[in-house]
Each structure stands twice: as C-alpha cells, then as structure tokens.
Amino acid sequence: MKYIDKLRNSGLRPTKQRLQICEVLFNTEKTFHFTINELEQKIKDKIDNKISLATVYNTVHAFEKKGYLKQIPINSNQTYFDTNVTDHHHFYDLKNEKLIDLENSDVGPINIKRKINGKKIKSVEVLIKLED
C-alpha cells in the first residue's frame, strides 16, 4: 500500500508500528503541528495495541531525517513537529501560544544577500510574532 512503498523507498522497513504512525500522521486532509506527547496520545486514541514511547521518538526522528516531517523552530519545553514539510512560514500568537501556518503565497519572496563560505542554505523560515 501507499505507506509501505513510501517507507521502503527511503530504506525504512515497513513495520506495523511505523505504518500505524503513518496513518496517524499522514492519513489526513490537513497538515498539523504536534509534540511527541500529543502524537502519543493520538496514537493511543486511534489504535488498540501499544507503541512504546521510544519507538515514537525513533520513528519521528527517522521520518524527520527522510523529510516526511520537520521540526518547527519555536522555543518551548517540548519540540514541535509539522507534517507540512513544504517551505512555509508561521504566525506565532504570543497570547495563546498557538502556531498558525502561512501559505507560501502569504509571504513575498525573501532575498538573502549574504553568503557564508562553504555553506548552503537548507531552509528559510519566517516566524511572525503576533500581539493584540
């Protein structure tokens, strides 16, 4: 099926646990943000067997490495991930501590004029803080 190939194509064995986590993460219309703990809760709600916390961490990191997830650079005590791996930006509502996705078209092109020797730009992300 779709996730089996996805995993195999990136050198990850399609185990039962990984496929179930794929269902939770990717079998939705909308992308979303989550912490590991939120994901664990979602998994518990959706499936009846248990997936060890270590496996959730392993899988999320494996998926991040393969580009199926990405970390959101926010200062929080927990790490935030995003199932939207396209280049996109965020509003961060300081009052509610909530992240809001921006469409790429919501921000004009960003022109980086400075270069660092021997380094390539991997990503450009804008964080727009909002107040009342």
Partner DNA sequence: CACTTGTTTAGAATCATTATAAACAAGACT
Partner DNA sequence: AGTCTTGTTTATAATGATTCTAAACAAGTG
Q: What whole-number distance in Å separates Cα of residue 34 and Cα of residue 21?
A: 13
One-letter amino acid for residue 131 of the chain: E
Chosen from DNA, a second copy, none, partner binding at 117 (C-beta under 5 to 8 Å by type): none
Q: Which one of 3, 26, 57, 91 is in contact with a second copy (CB under 8 A)?
A: 91
Strand partners, 34: 81
Binding site for DNA (CB under 7 A): 8, 12-18, 35-37, 49-55, 57-59, 61, 77-79
Whether 67 contacts 104, CB under 8 Å: no
One-letter amino acid for residue 125 of the chain: E
Chosen from DNA, a second copy, none, partner binding at 31 (C-beta under 5 to 8 Å by type): none
CA 53, 59, 64, 69 dihedral sign is negative
Q: Which of residues 16-75 bind a second copy (CB under 8 A)?
A: 71-75
Q: Which residues bind a second copy (CB under 8 A)?
A: 71-75, 79, 91, 93-94, 100, 102-103, 105-114, 116, 118-132
